[in-house]
Amino acid sequence: MCQRGGIGDQKIISCCLSILVVVIHLLLLQVSFTEELCKELLFVISCRENSKPVRKKASPSHTDSSSIYDFSNYGYSDKK
């Protein structure tokens, strides 16, 4: 029996699904996709640290995008 598609097709579908999941999570957190993508790429390029703070939903009192990071539990400071 002949199979349709191949490994290349599976990789493309997998990448599309991964991007879709990321976009849905960013929409739920109300964060710009391009802004978050730029932050991720800068983190990868800089390679200064080996981990990032855990993402969490912003509290109702905070509206800026930096409030989705909880730095306090990991010894990070959001002041630069």
**pTM across the whole model:** 0.41
The 10s digit of each residue's pLDDT in 29-77 is: 888 878 878 888 887 787 766 666 666 666 666 555 554 555 555 555 5
Say whether pLDDT at 25 is over 80. yes
CA pair distance 8, 38, nearest whole angstrom: 27
Say whether pLDDT at 28 is over 80. yes
Do 23 and 16 meet the contact criterion of CB atoms below 8 Å apart?
Answer: no
The full 3-state SS of the chain, as one line of letters, equals CCCCCCHHHHHHHHHHHHHHHHHHHHHHHCCCHHHHHHHHHHHHHHCCCCCCCCECCCCCCCCCHHHHECCHHHCCCCCC
pLDDT for residue 18: 87
